[in-house]
């Protein structure tokens, strides 16, 4: 890929359903290895952005490209990491089968085992540190372990961008931290861009290069320092929004947003058990 090509290119992109505009005028070029958080209230169109890039939702107008090509269904340049959902314990599949699906699950036919296939699957399992439990039935693994396998599954085609749809949801704090650190390491080692949809900015804050913030049919793009401020968000929402950056000590900070349609940090405000895992490392 030539360096002039951004991994993700959106130019004046607009999504509308039945004439109702979900969001409009989204411009962004995402470079290889860049970590972009996608934020905004429920229903603002965060997941829809991922579905546009996956080729599942067509733009009303504008341009969407991945790796210099127009978006299309089933691109191997894209790795997709969904929310953690308990996988049925009856399903007779192992971790390595899940990763194998990422490699050739969309190909017709029965699929016979091959050495090259096994080698690639082992390689990526090793990278995410899941080799040790890759032969266990998937239903007996913990949420954190399953998300590691999900990341391996997304990485197995050597994509240029990872689309993550709230991959930390329903994980405990320790596992959230580990999954984010794994994603961060992978994007640095392989120069993969990450688009990360989330309600909760704090766990990923240390790794975020830029954010896309959706609200009221608009999209604001910039660094966290540019976008997540009282002034910017008040302008975006069209009402007063209060952003508080709560300094815990010299290197730890927590961001609280008040007055948005939802307050993503409310759950943890009185939860002293998790005080320290919520901290943001500013290094």
Partner 1 sequence: MSWDTFVNFDNFTDLVPLVQGSLVAGLILGLVAGIIGPMIHARDLSFAVHGTSELSFAGAAIALFLGYNVAHGAIVGSVLAAVLLGLLGARARERNATIGIFLPFGLGLGVLFLSLYKGRSSNKFGLLTGQIVAVDDAQLWTLVAVSAIVVLALAAMWRPLFFASVDPEVAIARGVPTRALSIAFMVVLGLTTAMAVQLVGALLVLSLLITPTSAAAQVTARPLTLAVLSVVFATISAVGGILLSLGPGLPISPYVTTVSFLIYLVCLGLGRLVRGRGFSRRLA
Tell whether residue 116 is a contact of partner 1 (CB under 8 A): no
Cα of first residue to Cα of last residue in the chain, in angstroms, is 32
CA-closest candidate to residue 47, choices 255, 180, 258, 212:
212
Least distance CB 98 / partner 1 (angstroms)? 7
Q: Give the Cβ contact number of residue 218 at 10 Å.
A: 18
Tell whether residue 87 is a contact of partner 1 (CB under 8 A): yes
Q: Which residue has the tokens 């939860």?
A: 271
| Among 13, 35, 46, 97, contact with partner 1 (rule: CB under 8 A) | 97
Tell whether residue 54 is a contact of partner 1 (CB under 8 A): yes
Tell whether residue 169 is a contact of partner 1 (CB under 8 A): no
Tell whether residue 82 is a contact of partner 1 (CB under 8 A): yes
Tell whether residue 88 is a contact of partner 1 (CB under 8 A): yes
CB-CB contact of 127 with 144 (8 Å): no
Least distance CB 92 / partner 1 (angstroms)? 5
Q: Give the Cβ contact number of residue 260 at 10 Å.
A: 19
Residue 128 CB burial class (10 angstroms; 0-12, 13-18, ≥19): buried
Nearer CB in complex with partner 1: 175/202: 175
| Among 48, 67, 75, 176, contact with partner 1 (rule: CB under 8 A) | 75
Tell whether residue 114 is a contact of partner 1 (CB under 8 A): no
Tell whether residue 129 is a contact of partner 1 (CB under 8 A): no
CB-CB contact of 183 with 189 (8 Å): no
Least distance CB 280 / partner 1 (angstroms)? 30
Tell whether residue 107 is a contact of partner 1 (CB under 8 A): yes
Q: What's the rounded Cα separation, in Å, for the pair 275 and 33? A: 30
Beta strands in 166-215 (DSSP E): 193-197, 210-215
138-167 positions binding partner 1, by CB under 8 A: 138, 140-141, 150, 153, 163
Helix (H) or strand (E) holding 225: helix 224-227
Return residues touching partner 1 (CB under 8 A): 54-56, 72-75, 78, 80, 82, 85, 87-88, 90-94, 97-98, 101-102, 104-111, 113, 133, 135-138, 140-141, 150, 153, 163
């Amino acid at each position: 890929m030539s360096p002039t090509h951004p991994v993700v290119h959106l130019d004046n992109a607009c999504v509308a359903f039945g004439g109702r505009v979900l969001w409009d005028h989204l411009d962004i070029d995402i470079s290889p290895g860049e970590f972009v958080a996608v934020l905004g209230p429920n229903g603002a169109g965060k997941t829809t952005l991922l579905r546009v890039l996956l080729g599942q939702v067509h733009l009303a107008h504008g341009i969407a490209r991945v790796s210099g090509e127009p978006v299309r269904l089933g691109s191997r340049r894209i790795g997709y990491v969904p929310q953690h959902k308990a996988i049925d314990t009856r399903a007779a599949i192992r971790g390595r089968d899940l990763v194998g699906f990422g490699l050739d699950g969309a190909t017709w036919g029965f699929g016979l085992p091959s050495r090259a296939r096994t080698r690639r699957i082992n390689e990526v399992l090793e990278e995410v540190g899941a080799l040790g439990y890759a032969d266990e039935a998937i239903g007996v693994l913990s949420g954190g372990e399953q998300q590691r396998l999900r990341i391996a599954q997304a990485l197995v085609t050597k994509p240029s961008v990872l689309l993550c749809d709230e991959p930390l949801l329903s994980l405990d704090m320790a596992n959230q931290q580990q999954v984010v650190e794994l994603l961060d390491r992978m994007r640095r080692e392989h120069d993969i861009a990450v688009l990360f949809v989330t309600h909760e900015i704090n766990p990923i804050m240390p790794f975020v290069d830029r954010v896309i913030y959706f609200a009221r049919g608009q999209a604001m793009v910039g660094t966290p320092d540019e976008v997540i401020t009282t002034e910017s968000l008040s302008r975006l929402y069209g009402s007063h929004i209060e952003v508080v950056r709560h300094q815990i000590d010299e290197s730890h900070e927590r961001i609280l947003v008040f007055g948005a349609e939802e307050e993503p940090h409310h759950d943890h405000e009185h939860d002293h058990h998790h005080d320290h895992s919520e901290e943001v490392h500013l290094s």
